Amino acid sequence: MQDGCSKQMYLSIADYHSISMGFINPLEMKNNIFKMAASLLACGLDPEKTTLFQQSRVADHANLMYILGSLQTISRLTRMPQYKDKAAVFKNGNIPVNLQLYPILQAADVLLYKGTHVPVGDDQTQHLLLMRDLAFKFNAILHCDFFPVPVQISARCARLKSLQNSTKKMSKSMGNDRSRILISDIKQIIVEKCVKALSDSQSNITYEPEKRPAVSNLVTLYALATATGLSVENVIDECASLDTKGFKLCLAEKIDAHIAPFREKYEGLLQEPQLIRDILTHGTQRAEKKAQETMAELRELLGFNLSHQAINK
């Protein structure tokens, strides 16, 4: 995507978002930031084409979130599907405020840089619609075209589901480590995760997302892991003679071969923490400059800037 874009792209490591449900161990937070940066760089992110930065180090993300919050209602935020799912974790009703504000901060993450196109999965469509609504409202109230209304860029491939729950997406936010494949996973771990992945009582391999969601998810993963980019129909033909166990072992081989070069780059980058710090610092400086420009214009529009207007007596 970065190679086909003529404009500067921005990508933040969303450490503010990571505490929306509560604080995490500070050492774990630092490690997560380093690992996320290393993962993105290992997968081909070019810091000259894509500004990679740490969200919490650009204060205007929070500033813009507060301003945008004036344009949204609590009732709509409460109805957001992701909020409902995550709020259910708090059985006693003590839900953190930031969990409800998550989509407002997400909107600020994009609008702060006057983003025009946002790559999101289907599960984030509602958040993007809210973001678009905020841009429309702001522009309408102030009679301007200050914020571009972001357009969704949908993924070209099927969204991968958890290896342990085919109704949920594959995500690091899922508590079970066996639910996902990581770029850092060595072959032995990949084999273990694939062998223990959820399937069903049938031994043959078919692609029927409605009837056999767990097996169909593994077929999708197999197709994505092949160097030639097989279709799911090709996967079924290729694996017609395999039972579920054999298919899972073959899947593990495909995944390991696919991520091995990225894993090698990732491990090498983790041995150069200063390089990662430098990339994030440089990216943060670039992001902060753009953010400050946006906020200066916005403060003028809202009347917060007193330097250009005399006080009426």
Instruction: Determine the pLDDT at residue 130.
Output: 97
Q: Are 235 and 207 in contact (CB under 8 A)?
A: yes
Instruction: Determine the pLDDT at residue 230.
Output: 87
Cα separation, 310 vs 313, whole angstroms:
9
Tell me the β-bridge partners of 51: 10
Closest CA to 81 of 22, 137, 121, 125: 125
Instruction: Determine the pLDDT at residue 176.
Output: 82
Cα separation, 78 vs 263, whole angstroms:
39
Catalytic residue among 169, 187, 265, 290: 169
Instruction: Determine the pLDDT at residue 124.
Output: 86
Q: CA-based angle 263:265:267, to the nearest 5?
A: 70
Closest CA to 107 of 86, 127, 121, 124: 127
172 a catalytic residue: yes
Distances (CA, A) of 275 to 19, 84, 160, 265: 26, 40, 31, 13
169 a catalytic residue: yes
Structural domains present in the chain: 2-158+273-302 (3.40.50.620), 177-268 (1.10.240.10)
Catalytic residue among 35, 86, 161, 254: 86
Cα separation, 162 vs 197, whole angstroms:
9
Any residues with CB less than 8 A from the CB of 196 and at least 6 apart, and which?
163, 178
Any residues with CB less than 8 A from the CB of 98 and at least 6 apart, and which?
19, 20, 21, 105
The pLDDT tens digits along the chain (313 residues) read 676 666 789 999 999 999 999 999 999 999 999 999 999 999 999 999 999 999 999 999 999 999 999 999 999 999 998 899 899 989 888 999 999 999 999 999 999 999 999 998 777 889 999 999 999 999 999 999 999 999 999 866 667 899 999 988 898 776 688 999 999 999 999 999 999 999 999 999 999 999 999 999 999 999 999 877 789 999 999 999 999 999 999 999 999 999 999 999 999 999 999 999 999 999 999 999 999 999 999 999 999 998 766 556 5
Six-digit token string for 94:
């003590």
Cα separation, 289 vs 217, whole angstroms:
43
Cα separation, 86 vs 88, whole angstroms:
5
Catalytic residue among 30, 84, 172, 289: 172
**How remote is the C-alpha of 313 from its chain's centroid?**
51
pTM (two decimals): 0.91
Instruction: Determine the pLDDT at residue 158.
Output: 62
114 a catalytic residue: no
Residues counted in the chain:
313
Closest CA to 265 of 75, 18, 37, 6: 37
